[in-house]
Amino acid sequence: MKKDVAIVGASGYTGIELTKILSRHPHVNLRAVASQTNAGRTLSTIMGVGAPDMKFCSIESKLILKCDVIFSCLPHGAAAKHIVKWRKLGKIVFDLSADFRLKDKEQYKQWYHLDHPAPHMLKDAVYGLPELHREKIKKTSLVACPGCYTTATILGIMPALKAGIISPDIFVSAVSGTSGAGKQAKHEYSYCEVNENLSAYALPNHRHTPEMEQELSLACDHEALVSFVPHLGPFNRGIHATITASLTAATTQEKVTKIYRDFYASAAFVKISEKNPQLKDVVGTNFCLIRPIVDVRTGRLIALSVLDNLIKGASGQAVQCFNIRFKYKENEALDIGPC
């Protein structure tokens, strides 16, 4: 049976990607595509030729409330206020903002500089990383879809941390394409500033840091500490993360590779690579490619983790959670090759 689905905040990069994926999903009736700034315009004016033959509606449209499932691509702060209303009406919500990712309302205030709009709902939200929370996703009505940097980092280092072969003091250096910043009209995201350039930003307090620490700590039953240095790269989309930590004992490359392969043996969209993964391997797909490397000389583990920030790092992962929640094939509408 098909689900009637609405996308709210659909004219941003993640919303557009989500519209593309859901419009080809065989178990979805895409009933409402909402954008406050583009209400009344046809989708083709934003998405181009081949877009669904629909118009954007307002985010207050009654069409949204007629749907079974709502995907929210609204900004943090704004998302939670709408989600409270939707949940009271019994809607199943997949939230791509940061509003329900952190379990502690004080951490939310510390990192997002806002009082949480709905702290009573934090306990009900499930962090939407299928490789860690598949069983909980099957039962929840509110999925908090992870951030892109966070997904690359957690997937890249979790097997080693869970196996106890590394120290929980972790360093991450990651580069994102400019689409990760959304459609903000800021000087630093303009073509002349980004092209032929590479720059670090938002360190040491990038907002994805507490997500990484929360999920790694919960999974391993002890506190994980993450030093995170994000960079803006001169390309449209993709995340390339280099993650390092000290090994707790001498080990071999073969043993570590086996730990990773065993951990992700049943993961539909995580692959362990024998060569250094590149962005061109994953852009346009819902895959995360990981290569763990044992640095014998320094006694450290280096994990390379790459994904498409708009798909596995956002919209594709949300649809992956949707498929799990409603018992569809996990790869439904996500079997797409690299661009």
What number of other Cβ atoms are within 10 A of residue 29's Cβ?
A: 12
Instruction: Report which of 183, 136, 184, 133 is spatially closest to residue 155, judged by C-alpha positions.
Output: 133
- Options 148, 192, 288, 321, the catalytic residue: 148
CA–CA gap between residue 289 and residue 280 (Å, rounded): 11
CA–CA gap between residue 121 and residue 94 (Å, rounded): 14
CA–CA gap between residue 79 and residue 320 (Å, rounded): 20
Locate tokens 């018992």: which residue? 327
148 is catalytic: yes
**Can you list the alpha helix ranges (DSSP code H) found in 239-326?**
253-263, 316-325
Using the CB atoms, write b or e for 109-123: b if 16+ within 10 Å: eebbeeebbbeebbe
Residue 250, exposed/middle/buried by CB under 10 A (0-12, 13-18, 19+)?
exposed
212 with 155: CB under 8 angstroms? Answer: no
Rg for the chain, CA atoms, rounded: 19
Instruction: Report which of 16, 66, 64, 67 is spatially closest to residue 38, judged by C-alpha positions.
Output: 16
Helix 316-325 / helix 130-137 crossing angle, nearest 10 deg = 40
164 with 248: CB under 8 angstroms? Answer: yes
31 with 55: CB under 8 angstroms? Answer: no
List active site positions. Answer: 148
